[in-house]
Structure 1
């Protein structure tokens, strides 16, 4: 079930409200004064006639400013709603009681408070898909949200999201699912730039950002590196890949069970620490 096509108003409302308002003011100035000034520099009677009809552009300029102001107001209302949505959660059951759209907004707000910029793609729906795109530090992460309460996410869903990684030029995939994941799904994700976030992990992430303790590197505090990887005060920082400089993620060796840092751009880059 899709969400329909986005239009210019939706794109403006998806921006931070001050940005949408600033676009409205700049557009008003450009239409009201910039366009007549442009025609004034051109030769010909038609251009000169338009240059003198400055009042003719006023209605268009006001319409643009009004549309951007409404989009800014919508963005402000949505931002407050997302904040209330996250702050009102008191336990995992309250998250499970949300509708699938609010569940996506909740997950997006949790990542937003970790410093990510969030794009609600409109490519997903009640049955999943790419619901969010996270951007931070030049890295793009695809996110799918599954509010399945009594079903575990199968390996096919994880494999499908991994296939979209290269297609969309992203660096990593995250799947948030209340019901958890099958063993095959968890096994497939090992050694790949895929983070599986089950219900308890998601709840701990929500609690962290509610208290203002969300990790600066975007990783929930509950997913700390193992003791062998903690070297001192800087252990909370995610290292950069020694080969390409991209952000690294925690992975587990399938044979030995030992944790290590692997490049989020794997398999394009196989840098490890």
Structure 2
């Protein structure tokens, strides 16, 4: 079942939220002030009549700005939901419990945090297809997401995606599938610009981007200890220097010293992060 966009505001909502807001402000200025100023410079009775009715364009300008503001708010809410969705997935069971739409959002957010531009094509659906197009460095990559928990992706699906490369002028294909791939599918992908991402590989990618960009909840309430700011380091006796036990209060693992990126303050965090988020 397709997910095509019905109007331009849906397209704006798919972009970063500041883009829609800027488009709304520019459109408002153009409709409210730019068009009347341009018409006023024209000759003829019709142009003069339109110039005298410049206030008639005000409702249209406000309507355009309001629509873009709604699209901007929708984009902000979607982006926040995707971020929370990825931050909450710390185990493969969490990923498997998602619906297929949230699974696609999760995969897209994981690539987004790696610096890719994401285009939600609307060509996929519950049964598959091109779900995402990645943009980075002038390269286009087609992505299909398969949340099959107990089925492996057959070679036919991989062959079909490979055949779409030329049609969409893309350079590579990536297929994310929880259940993995058949031997024939893996054999077909060898030597081709096809990246097969099974469940464990996807989880490793998610944990990698989580570690690269810790959520605010991990550091905003972290206690400040009198240690110099620096990179993460293991300490043989964190309890002695931090005034706490040497073990994580959640899982019992060894604590390591971490630095808050925003304040520079250091605190003790679990060495098992992001699987465990215990702090002292």
Q: What is the SS of the residue equivalent to 2:152?
A: coil
The aligned runs of 1:28-107 (5 Å cut-off) are 28-107=28-107
Distance in 2 of aligned mates of 1:74 and 1:19: 12
Distance in 2 of aligned mates of 1:196 and 1:150: 17
Distance in 2 of aligned mates of 1:73 and 1:54: 29
Q: What is the SS of the residue equivalent to 1:34?
A: helix
The higher radius of gyration belongs to 2
Distance in 2 of aligned mates of 1:123 and 1:100: 14
The aligned runs of 1:127-146 (5 Å cut-off) are 127-146=127-146
> Shift of the alpha carbon at 1:213?
7.3
Q: What is the SS of the residue equivalent to 1:165?
A: coil
Residue in 2 aligned with 1:262?
A: none
Change (3 A) 1:106 1:69: same
The aligned runs of 1:229-244 (5 Å cut-off) are none
> Shift of the alpha carbon at 1:69?
0.4
> Shift of the alpha carbon at 1:7?
1.6
Residue in 2 aligned with 1:197?
A: 197
Distance in 2 of aligned mates of 1:197 and 1:173: 11
The aligned runs of 1:261-272 (5 Å cut-off) are none
The aligned runs of 1:82-231 (5 Å cut-off) are 82-212=82-212
8 Å contact 2:5–2:11 — kept in the other structure?
no
Unaligned runs of 5+ in 1: 215-273
Q: What is the SS of the residue equivalent to 1:166?
A: coil
> Shift of the alpha carbon at 1:52?
2.1
Distance in 1 of aligned mates of 2:137 and 2:208: 21
Unaligned runs of 5+ in 2: 215-280
> Shift of the alpha carbon at 1:5?
3.8
Distance in 2 of aligned mates of 1:34 and 1:190: 57
Distance in 2 of aligned mates of 1:184 and 1:46: 71
8 Å contact 2:5–2:122 — kept in the other structure?
yes
Q: What is the SS of the residue equivalent to 2:196?
A: strand
8 Å contact 2:146–2:178 — kept in the other structure?
yes
Change (3 A) 1:213 1:15: closer
Residue in 2 aligned with 1:235?
A: none
Distance in 2 of aligned mates of 1:141 and 1:153: 19
Q: Once superposed, what is the RMSD of the aligned Cα atoms?
A: 1.2
Residue in 2 aligned with 1:6?
A: 6
Q: Deviations over 1:78-112 (max 9, x none)?
A: 00000000000120010000000000000000000
> Shift of the alpha carbon at 1:48?
1.8
Tell me the TM-score normalized by structure 2: 0.75
Q: What is the SS of the residue equivalent to 1:124?
A: coil
Q: What is the SS of the residue equivalent to 1:201?
A: helix
Q: Deviations over 1:17-74 (max 9, x none)?
A: 1111000000000000111112122222111211221101100000000000000000
Tell me the TM-score normalized by structure 1: 0.77
Residue in 2 aligned with 1:25?
A: 25
